[in-house]
Structure 1
Amino acid sequence: MTSSLEATARIVAEPDGRGGTALPVLAGAGPIALRRTRGHRVTLIGSMAAPLGGDRLALRIDVRPGATLELTSAAATISLPGRDGAPAHYTLDLTVGEDARLDWLPEPVVAASGSTLHLTTRISLAPGARLRYREEQVLGRHHDRSRGAPPGRLTSRLTVHRAGRPVLDQQTDLGPGAPGWDGPACLGGHPTAGQLLTVGLPAPPPPPPDADAALLALPGEDATLLTAIAPDALALRRLLACSQQH
């Protein structure tokens, strides 16, 4: 018998006709609770421990033409082991319409010891859409590392298309069993990794020369990707925050 669950949450944002954003659909599901906190901001609140091994969770966001949506979270998403060792799956489908904007700024995803998470993010942008997408990954909880326990396994696939053309297609595989994940070509001993993707926004400044970070130009004149690794989540956030554009 398994305790795994399947749940899909949905958000639809559209102009309210008064210069603001309406949310005709704000539907949480299972462990994904959604709260409108102010203006065009929605906060994701975990209503129970998740994702657990075997869970299949999904969040679908549709930002319709002319609307603006910012998504944050109240706490980190912590991947936990299930009873039978099965991986958890978390799928994000983000669609941004013409002249619309999405700011995706949640707290980190943490791979707790013994867990396996497959995170799939698909982003579809219409012409003129604007995107700021921050992704932070932490290998192991603090008390896992303090007792010498290995982190969990985290496989993340991110694909981004604008007007049907590919902007980015990448996969990272981190944690025990992933080839070379902790070597000098990947994390180099650091427990955190992250990136800031911007499309349709001013290019961020380059990171400090002594930082373990790189700013890359992506297809199109206004698409960039800042990638970074750091010794802890706070240092990682500082690297990514210094390049966020409003």
Structure 2
Amino acid sequence: MSGVHATARIVARDDGRGGTGLPVLESDGPLALRRTRGTGDEARVMLVGAMSGPLGGDRFAVEADVGNGARLHVRSAAATIALPGQTKEEAHYDVRLCVADGGELHWMPEQLISVKGSGLSVTTRADLGADARLVLREEQVLGRAGEEPGTLTSRLCVRVAGRVVLDQELSCGPGAPAGWDGPAVLAGHRAVGQIVLVRPEFATEPVTARSVGEHACVVPLAGPAALVTAVAPDALLLRRVLDTALADLHIR
């Protein structure tokens, strides 16, 4: 098989002194992990792209494992840009998240930009304990300014205590089924995003389904979770809409 294969791993654990330790912080190839200054009992990690990609045929994976009592906040230093490679093979980017009871994870990467001629499949799977907490943001931008997008398939699956609360997939671009750009899906917009919120208190006090401005909505999920979905004409407005939705839910 062609392309670059790389897996980066983060393990976060309660350090027993009121903070969060990172006993495992493994970078690999183009996926560079850097610990940054945290706040309170939270550890922070920055994902830095050490080379271009993913390109056609590449297979990237990032894994994060958060233990009981640990708090982890992960960001990326820049947008991820899916580029065409020398082969016609599809690239793959897998994110695997595990948060134990009493753990908390904020997964807040920058946007994924699908460039004309590229093909990328992104899969994000999050497995949480019954009392775990999660804020997960995904943003996809279809093409650079004035450019048609590549083909992008994104699947997001979240399970709480072994029970699926969300499993959705969206395909966009020239290789996607017809209708992806129509009024029932993106309605001509070129930026789409979602935030998944998991909170134990949502089991007894679920969020109220509602619109947030003209571009986003909030819906409760079948479990202690909620989903924010937004579309926008560009990445800047998309981020503003998602930030507004988080503020509306009083989530920091």
What TM-score comes out, normalization by structure 2 length?
0.91
Given the alignment of the two structures, is residue 191 of structure 1 paired with residue 190 of structure 2, yes or no? yes
Give structure 1 stretches of 5+ with no counterpart: none
1:6 matched residue in structure 2: 5
Change (3 A) 1:205 1:42: farther
CA–CA distance in 1 between the matches of 2:14 and 2:209? 31
Corresponding residue for residue 208 of structure 1: 212
The aligned residue for residue 104 of structure 1 is: 107
Which residue number in structure 1 is paired with residue 174 of structure 2? 176
Alpha carbons 1:8, 1:28 under 8 Å: kept: yes
Q: How far is the alpha carbon of 1:155 from its aligned partner?
A: 0.2
Aligned to 2:90: 87
Structure 2: stretches of 5+ with no match in the other structure = none
The equivalent residue for 2:238 is 236
In structure 2, what residue type is equivalent to 1:241? D
Q: Is structure 2 residue 70 aligned with structure 1 residue 70? A: no
> How many Å separate the matches in 2 of 1:29 and 1:91?
14
For 1:243, what is the secondary structure of its paired residue?
helix
In the TM superposition, residue 243 of structure 1 has moved relative to its aligned partner by: 2.5
**Post-superposition CA distance 1:115-165 (Å, at most 9, x none):** 0000011110011000000000000012xx2xxx42111101111111101
Superposed CA offset, 1:57-105 (max 9, x none): 1111100111000000110000011111111001111000111000011
1:136 touches 1:195 (CA, 8 Å); kept in 2?
yes
Task: Output the aligned Cα RMSD.
Answer: 1.6
Post-superposition offset of 1:25: 0.3
Indicate the residue corresponding to 1:218 in structure 2.
221
**Distance in 2 between the 1:204 and 1:7 partners?**
41
Partner-residue secondary structure (3-state), 1:181: coil
Contact 1:230 1:236 in 2 (8 A): yes
Distance 2:123 2:157 in 1: 8
The letter of the residue matching 1:225 is L
The residue that corresponds to 2:125 in the other structure is: 122
- Describe the superposition over 1:164-189 as per-residue Cα deviations: whole angstroms up to 9, x where unpaired: 01110111101112121111111111
Alpha-carbon offset, residue 208 of structure 1: 3.2
CA deviation string 1:13-40 (max 9, x = no partner):
0011111110000011111100011121
Q: How does 1:50-69 map to 2 (within 5 A)?
A: 50-69=53-72
Confirm or deny: 8 A CA contact 2:180 2:186 kept in the other structure: yes
Counterpart amino acid of 1:170? Q
Q: For residue 9 of structure 1, what is the amino acid of its counterpart?
A: A
Paired residues, number? 238
CA contact (8 A) 1:118 1:155 kept: yes
Structure 1 outlier segments of 4+, above 3 Å: 201-209
**Alpha carbons 1:204, 1:243 under 8 Å: kept:** no
- Measure, in 2, the Cα distance between the counterparts of 1:208 and 1:150: 28
Letter in 1 for 2:92: H
* 1:24 lines up with 2:26 in the alignment: no
Rounded Cα–Cα distance in structure 1 between residues aligned with 2:208 and 2:26: 34
SS in 1 for 2:212: coil
